Structure 1
């Protein structure tokens, strides 16, 4: 494998000699490696891109090139350091953005940004605020981006698309589990109309499409040693959608007091303190750019994204656990119940969430 990695890395326009290539992290989707070179030249990130998840890797890489070049220009205009405050894609020696090996696998390289800090979990309001600031800054840097972007994952966060899949899964009942799930199916159906009403605003352009990251967990943000946001990484899912999706997905991730698959539902809920902190960070960067219809639906986005996840876990359980990796037979059902408890907690605190958003947006618009 090492020889293969050396050969693959050598296809890219790297500076310096390759000294070592080692596995980096435990990604769920891509395989990631760190390329070390000699003193005075950059180190690099080498990734095998998952073509099952991303069926058009070259188009995805073109998205990343466009977005990162735009961010680099913005950073330079602001007097920052584009080498550290933006990802840099390294082309192949032939000028392509990715390399396809003899087995048909796609590989891509970017510069490794050293001397940084990253976190696997936002475990304090201060860190939640910085996470919101990071995603808000990323969206703000791309607010004037007007180039077309490919849809790297079809129907991502499109609840109308999810309902088509849901209805088909119910009709199939592939694992013969539907009969025992009347209550859980009811959770989905009783909220169907309000979720479609929200998505209709997106489809009609009332809520505008903007450049979104679509994977806003905190470990996709790099910080410097002083704790300041440097840049957002892992841009495979960058495409156009509503900014609200990024906000809602972050709240689902940052603010859950339990685990995504927690068996103890008493532990699961939404921390309003963490919500307030993330909202403060996010709107400090974005309030002046968002339309009032966007800020009016910001809190609802947390309900929307969490609901979508309840639907997807339950749908996969009904379908026989074909999409998500499971550790035991009821894993997807446990995930469904835990996410539903989070959704209930969000719904219970929704008026307070709306008040926090309105007050914070007003503060940063003036």
Structure 2
């Protein structure tokens, strides 16, 4: 199927070189090299994205909007663009029913490969630029890529349902995860309640701005972002929380030792300074909820990993059973460290906002 898909986008499909690209948890991604250049080929995981055309059309819509803004106002943002099939379509449906799409290949350096305080600050500025460019895009033009995405109360309901149907008894690690979930459960509705009350509003967001999804220009041009699969209407606070969660965890997303997980306050300061320098402003009430966003998004991801572990690893791709449980344990360790540093984090948020 891989060769068939490559041939749909590449005129010399029989001779082009195809290699796996990255280690994403959801989709399968490949780099295609041909005589005419390189592009990224991706098979969309239909188990995760049951309506893959939604993902493809959202990507085309928001990149088109960004390009228009760049032409009109001279703004720059590094991002991929759709690569159409030889027949001019945005996707290829293979003989097994899998949906493939092409994107331009970005030759910059992924942020995760250039980790340091200056890169984290650049990530903050880049996320602010994304939000600024997307702010005037009518959110109604973006379909929902994943039902209930970043809705923590919904994830809690899903967890409860899966837990009730789990035939096996939880081991010590599982019981520890369950204890963390039940302890934090009363706070799970906080951001959704703020949305219902009109304190936080829905607007276009990236949806998955972990540090791996940032890219730095090697030419000195403005930086950008990758992986627009989850672009849609949402809360900016979820983007902020997710980016802080991933960029300030010095142990990284794939560390093997939970005790090494820690929320780095220096990185937090650098990110916030970058974000607020990028032109983003919040009222005091909205600003005060940034801490809750960091805390709850880390908790949310832990819940999702643990739920998938109990369900049999049907959402996040794993190399072996127990990998999602290990991921959940690391996220819950991060939640604990974030909670322990709450006052420090709140002071950093306030200081960054005052300076800009």
TM interval, shorter chain, is: 0.7 to 0.9
Distance of aligned partners of 1:30 and 1:321 in 2 relative to their CA distance in 1, 3 Å threshold: closer
Structure 1 unaligned residues grouped into runs of 5+:
none
Distance of aligned partners of 1:105 and 1:227 in 2 relative to their CA distance in 1, 3 Å threshold: same
Asked if the contact 1:122/1:254 (under 8 Å) is kept, the reply is no
Q: Is 1:247 aligned to 2:245, yes or no?
A: no
Distance of aligned partners of 1:118 and 1:321 in 2 relative to their CA distance in 1, 3 Å threshold: closer
**How far apart are residue 250 of structure 1 and its match?**
1.3
**How far apart are residue 209 of structure 1 and its match?**
0.9
SS in structure 1 at match of 2:141: coil
SS in structure 2 at match of 1:22: strand
Asked if the contact 2:122/2:223 (under 8 Å) is kept, the reply is no
Residues in 2 aligned to 1:230 and 1:261: alpha-carbon distance in whole angstroms: 24
Distance of aligned partners of 1:127 and 1:344 in 2 relative to their CA distance in 1, 3 Å threshold: same
Q: Which residue matches 1:59? A: 54
Residues in 1 aligned to 2:22 and 2:70: alpha-carbon distance in whole angstroms: 30
Equivalent residue in structure 2 for 1:278, among 242, 267, 271: 271
Structure 2 unaligned residues grouped into runs of 5+:
none
Distance of aligned partners of 1:108 and 1:272 in 2 relative to their CA distance in 1, 3 Å threshold: same
Q: Deviations over 1:235-279 (max 9, x none)?
A: 111111101111111122111132446554432211000111111
Alignment of 1:101-116 (within 5 A): 101-114=94-107, 116=108
Q: Which moved more, 1:247-256 or 1:331-340?
A: 331-340
Q: Is 1:134 aligned to 2:126, yes or no?
A: yes
Residues in 1 aligned to 2:96 and 2:73: alpha-carbon distance in whole angstroms: 43
Alignment of 1:229-244 (within 5 A): 229-244=222-237
Q: Which residue matches 1:7? A: 7
Equivalent residue in structure 2 for 1:72, among 60, 67, 77: 67
**How far apart are residue 227 of structure 1 and its match?**
4.5
Q: Which residue matches 2:296? A: 304
Q: Which moved more, 1:183-192 or 1:340-349?
A: 183-192
Residues in 1 aligned to 2:215 and 2:137: alpha-carbon distance in whole angstroms: 22
Q: Which moved more, 1:46-55 or 1:317-326?
A: 317-326
Q: Deviations over 1:13-35 (max 9, x none)?
A: x8x99973422513431232324
Asked if the contact 1:72/1:85 (under 8 Å) is kept, the reply is no
**How far apart are residue 280 of structure 1 and its match?**
1.3
Q: Deviations over 1:171-204 (max 9, x none)?
A: 2233222798555323212221222123211244
Distance of aligned partners of 1:36 and 1:133 in 2 relative to their CA distance in 1, 3 Å threshold: farther
Distance of aligned partners of 1:86 and 1:331 in 2 relative to their CA distance in 1, 3 Å threshold: closer
Q: Which residue matches 2:207? A: 214
Q: Deviations over 1:45-70 (max 9, x none)?
A: 33222222211121211111110011
Q: Which residue matches 2:335? A: 343
**How far apart are residue 125 of structure 1 and its match?**
0.7
Q: Is 1:157 aligned to 2:150, yes or no?
A: yes
Give the TM-score of the pair, scaled to structure 1.
0.85
Residues in 1 aligned to 2:219 and 2:123: alpha-carbon distance in whole angstroms: 15
Asked if the contact 2:48/2:315 (under 8 Å) is kept, the reply is no
Residues in 2 aligned to 1:197 and 1:90: alpha-carbon distance in whole angstroms: 40
Give the TM-score of the pair, scaled to structure 2.
0.88
Residues in 2 aligned to 1:261 and 1:46: alpha-carbon distance in whole angstroms: 24
CA RMSD of aligned residues (A): 2.8
Q: Deviations over 1:291-313 (max 9, x none)?
A: 44332211221101111122223
**How many residues are paired up?**
353
**How far apart are residue 44 of structure 1 and its match?**
2.9
Residues in 2 aligned to 1:200 and 1:232: alpha-carbon distance in whole angstroms: 29
Q: Which moved more, 1:293-302 or 1:346-355?
A: 293-302
Equivalent residue in structure 1 for 2:355, among 325, 340, 363: 363
Q: Deviations over 1:98-118 (max 9, x none)?
A: 12122212122233344x222
Distance of aligned partners of 1:76 and 1:54 in 2 relative to their CA distance in 1, 3 Å threshold: same
Q: Which residue matches 1:20? A: 16
Residues in 2 aligned to 1:2 and 1:197: alpha-carbon distance in whole angstroms: 44
Distance of aligned partners of 1:246 and 1:35 in 2 relative to their CA distance in 1, 3 Å threshold: same
